Amino acid sequence: VSERSSGFGDTVWTEFTPLALKHKAVNLSQGLPSIPVEDFIIDALRQQAQPGWQHQYSRASGFPRLVEVIADYYSPEYQRTLQPLTDVCITSGATQGLFLFFQTFVNPGDEVVIIEPFYDSYVPQVEMAGGVVKSVTLRPPKADLGRPATSADWVWDPAELEAAFSERTKAVVINTPHNPTGKMFSREELELVARLAQQHDALVLADGVYEMLTYGEEHLQIAALPGMWERTVTLGSAGKAFNLTGWKIGWAIGPQELVQPMQLTQQYIPFCVSTPLQHALASAWEQAIENGFFDRQRRRFLGKRERLMEILNDAGLQPCMPQASYFILADTSNVEFEAPSQAPFARDYDFCRWLTSEIGVAAIPPSCFYTEPNRHLGARFARFCYVKQDDEIEEAARRLPRLA
């Protein structure tokens, strides 16, 4: 294998969903929704099963009707009229959108600032482009807050963020709402990123895949801050927005100067993304706007968030209330358990393997969301996903004893 691929092992996803299946555990690990897909989406997909052009290649950077829906949907958020053909590029999930961005803009030796913990694809993808990761860590909530912690209490040290930028900084990745904490970065935090990006002439990659999954607070687009449209590419995902993780359709939005080179690069990666799924998504999205799908989904997830918070509290874990997304990070440090240690050694891996095999509830060990030297920072926690059917969540409640 090439040097760039030689360091890869199995990801956390490759381990934990099969482990949950093996032990018949309630799978609260991977962000793998098990709630049924709504009928209007199934119908939109069913309509593709007929003769026609939808079975052939589409325009490389996106089926026109889909990029039009996306441009119309997002224009108000960016306070500008998005041009469907030049400001949007369809990708095979946001994961491929990340790859496309790094391949298009990062030269060997360029630095990319990333906030830890992070979605585990960021680092290998930057490195495959020859880039160098400069990471800045969000600190967990302090113990003496005097109130229950929320994801807003995960904060960076602004001086550390500032120090991560240099004349070699090509880009900064900001994921809001954030996986795994559920944090929504505040206006002040985004303004600091914006100021540093402008000062160092860096691009911003805004990973907004969980932007639809907010529960009261307004999602802020860093691209809509003054002077930021020109230097920001924002990623979205139908996997998260519509609960269709297997469709693998994502989108990148930005100014023509940035999106056009991505469109050109995209011709040489997948060429284009699955046409029938793009057709179906365009139709489903148009209907979703009419039928109130996004609000309905938020209300449904909010109930699940409340219930899983309660269950984790009852189990004696210390869950941190997420502002958005569909994950809860819980502090497990007061739980005593006996588990044989296996590689990779980290307490959270041992805890999550034990919880899956002995208790029958699967969760994700968050140390996989840190760079190697900082893995210990995730070791106190476990990440639970609540985009699951109510009876699965109740089964988790029945299985979880008082752990601490």
Q: Which is nearer to ligand GLN, 94 or 233 (CB)?
A: 94
Give the binding-site size for ligand PMP (rule: CB under 6 A). Answer: 13
Q: Which chain residues interact with ligand GLN by CB under 6 A?
A: 13, 30-31, 119, 179
| Helix residue spans in 129-237 (DSSP H) | 158-164, 187-199
Q: What is the DSSP string of 344-358?
A: SP-HHHHHHHHIIII
By C-beta, is 74 or 384 nearer to ligand GLN?
384
Using CB under 6 A as the binding rule, whether residue 208 contacts ligand PMP is answered as no
**Minimum distance of ligand GLN from residue 179's CB (angstroms):** 5
Q: Containing H/E element for 65?
A: helix 64-78
Q: From ligand PMP, ligand GLN, none, which one binds at residue 94 (CB under 5 to 8 Å depending on kind)?
A: ligand PMP
Structural tokens at position 142: 């302090």
Contacts of 369 (CB under 8 A, 6+ apart): 116, 117, 118, 119, 120, 179, 180, 378
Q: Which residues lie closer than 8 Å to 231 by C-beta, 6 or more apart?
A: 197, 198, 201, 202, 203, 204, 258
Which listed residue (95, 125, 214, 297) binds ligand PMP by CB under 6 A? 95
- Residue facing ligand PMP at closest CB distance: 93
* Residue 209 binds to ligand PMP (criterion: CB under 6 A): yes
311-340 mask for ligand PMP (x: CB under 6 A)? ------------------------------
Least gap, CB of 235 to ligand GLN (angstroms): 12
Q: Which of 101, 119, 229, 326 binds ligand PMP (CB under 6 A)?
A: 119
Interstrand relation of 88-91 and 111-116 (parallel, antiparallel or unpaired): unpaired
The entry of ligand GLN, ligand PMP, none near residue 250 (CB within 5 to 8 angstroms by kind) is: ligand PMP
CA distance linking residue 179 with residue 184, whole number of Å: 10
Nearer residue to ligand PMP within complex by CB, 175 or 263: 175
SS3 212: coil
Using CB under 6 A as the criterion, what x/- string covers residues 188-207 for binding ligand PMP?
-------------------x
Residues 295, 156: contact at Cβ < 8 Å?
no
Which member of 239, 319, 322, 365 binds ligand PMP (CB under 6 A)?
Answer: 239
In sequence order, what DSSP letters do the residues of 260-298 get, joined into one string? HHHHHHHTTTTSS--HHHHHHHHHHHHHHHHHTHHHHHH
Partner whose binding site includes residue 13, from ligand GLN, ligand PMP, none (CB under 5 to 8 Å by kind) = ligand GLN
Give the interface with ligand PMP as residue ranges (CB under 6 A): 31, 93-95, 119, 175, 179, 207, 209, 237, 239, 245, 250
